[in-house]
Structure 1
């Protein structure tokens, strides 16, 4: 166990990065999810599967990617950012709001990764695909169409003007824990749980330059790790 006297001493171990078109990277430890335990587990799993077993999983993953991409292509208003060449499917849309759509998909059991705009690329939705998804691909199309209809009915996210103004003026480098706590509370984070809509949070982050997005996320992570007074 590593204890820190204050948040300032702990902050250098956090890593945040938003200077790329993918979803923001935020890690609380140097090793992130690649610590010794998972690496050893992955090695043991590969040894157990063997080449043939690994190829079977890769084939199932590729089949799932093809099915998910096809489902996206059948919905008016959605567009693949690129034809998938790996185990990732990424698509964008302007109608409906992509962040509202991500919330609607989550409500239907499909948890995606919203990606912030990074010029010239627009905001998008990222699907990380594994072999485990293959059996659920047929269910994705109906869930996607229902989610799109619900997101269009809900309309684009409306950020409260006072919250938008507070975010526009902040500087993560000088943002103290009390100010961060107030901002988080205004966005719906608190002792009672998470905000009803993550679309508000993603929309706010999208208004910031990439370097300030990362700084704000690191400060938020620090807040989560700070015990209440």
Structure 2
């Protein structure tokens, strides 16, 4: 197995590996690589739903979804996103977010596997939340370091969190589901929301993943945010996602 860092400051390609036949050295390498790079891209895999579940468990215990919520009756660990309503959830996450931020104990890791490849459209953007914090003007950091955001369901999180394994500060903000900041007026919140959205979208900050059939992408949700792009129903795309639940994650040993 080879780990090759991307040239954008985060993320890595994992090459020469078969996710259905991982050795313990492979497992250790994947965990360490995710913690070091925040995002892993692995191409040319062929996984059944059961195999996707098994390889995902390398990173910890999986979240499960109720019947109908995940869409795959026999595999409650898989959440299916698709371009067509009859095949999965559509119009999901077209704003900067980390999966599971609406939970009191947020989702640490997300893993996607592309089942059906569209001819065009449906790319996913990824942004480095550690670098997003570092890139803020020094004079702006004290003003946001203690802020608490609130989701629409009432769940609250610090806007600046410490990664549970590396202890490095990162911005942690769901642009679509956050509806306030404790102590802020609605107008102040909207100004901050727009500023953060623009900051995450700043030129050159995002990795754009153009999906190919057999792709597996693994994201550390405390280090990397993502955003979906539109795809029409005339394109055929199926993307199966598994997520590691809070308290069940296996972090590797990072090289920071």
Structures share fold, TM-score greater than 0.5:
no
Q: Which has the higher helix share?
A: 1
| TM-score range for the pair, normalised by the shorter chain length | under 0.3
- The normalised TM-score by structure 1 is 0.27
Q: TM-score, normalised by structure 2?
A: 0.25
- Which of the pair has the greater relative contact order for Cα pairs under 8 Å at 6+ separation? 2
Structure number with higher strand proportion: 2
